Amino acid sequence: MTNCLEVNNLGLSIRNEVILNNISFQVPSGKITALVGHNGAGKSTTMKAIMGWQEKSEGEIKIKGISQDDDFLQFKTLFSYIPEEPLLMSELTVEQHFQLYGSSYLVSEQELKEKITYYTEAFDIRDKRNEFPELLSKGMRQKVQTICALIPDVPLLLIDEPFMGLDIYAAQFLMEELAKKKENGTSILITTHQLEKVTDLCDEFVLLSNGQIAESGQITGFNGLKRRKIDE
């Protein structure tokens, strides 16, 4: 089985403090991996290091064999990201956000049009396409951000807390959509505190503790998070 994402010996320090140490894991093509751990374990920092938002100190990160260090411009076209909190631009309308993502990922005009119609109907925000983000509720902004990441057919989807702020219908639709993407060969890395919601969807898990991998394997073998001991 080929790997879509390969993280090898990732280390990351911020102001001389070690945040991530010797992290190695893979996400095979067409599989979903859950990145789990207590608050502060290093999940979001791992995501940021993969995307190149936070500079790593050590190690190598590859998507589809392309190293982040060798060809960052090409590397960036291979993933899209759904952040935990929406990061929309106040000067762009909802529609302009979709257009921006479509052109950044070279989605054809026809395909973009179809996807915008499909996703805005599914997420029930069709009437918000010409609004600016500040006039939307937080959940609506999260829907817009989610649609932006779903528009391109990239090999790797990175998702920080997928259901945060979404109502049950939107969360259910997203779950089905992720299952479809996986079926079509997309690999997905999800960080979540609500593992019970995604257990059926995920294939593997990586458990982080204090910036290191404590355990990893098939999701069926995951025993849940234990309460953190005071001296850990």
Question: Minimum CB separation from ligand ATP for residue 40, in Å?
Answer: 4
- Which residue lies nearer to ligand ATP by CB, 15 or 110? 15
User: Taking CB under 6 A as the rule, does residue 52 contact ligand ATP?
Assistant: no
- Closest contact distance (angstroms) between CB of 93 and ligand ATP is 30
The H helix count followed by the E strand count for the chain is: 7, 10
Amino acid at 196: E
Please report whether residue 97 would count as binding ligand ATP according to CB under 6 A: no
3-state SS assignment for residue 144 = helix
| Among 33-41, 69-77, 86-94, 128-136, the segment contacting ligand ATP (CB under 6 A) | 33-41
Contact call for residue 146 and ligand ATP (CB under 6 A): no
Structure tokens at 151: 């528009």
Residue 33, interface with ligand ATP (CB under 6 A)?
no
Specify the 3-state DSSP secondary structure of 200. coil
Residue in the block written with tokens 């070690």: 18
Q: Does 40 help bind ligand ATP (rule: CB under 6 A)? A: yes
Find out whether 161 and 83 touch, Cβ atoms under 8 Å.
Answer: no
Q: Report the alpha-carbon angle 188-191-195, nearest 5.
A: 100
Binding positions for ligand ATP, rule: CB under 6 A = 14, 19, 37, 39-45
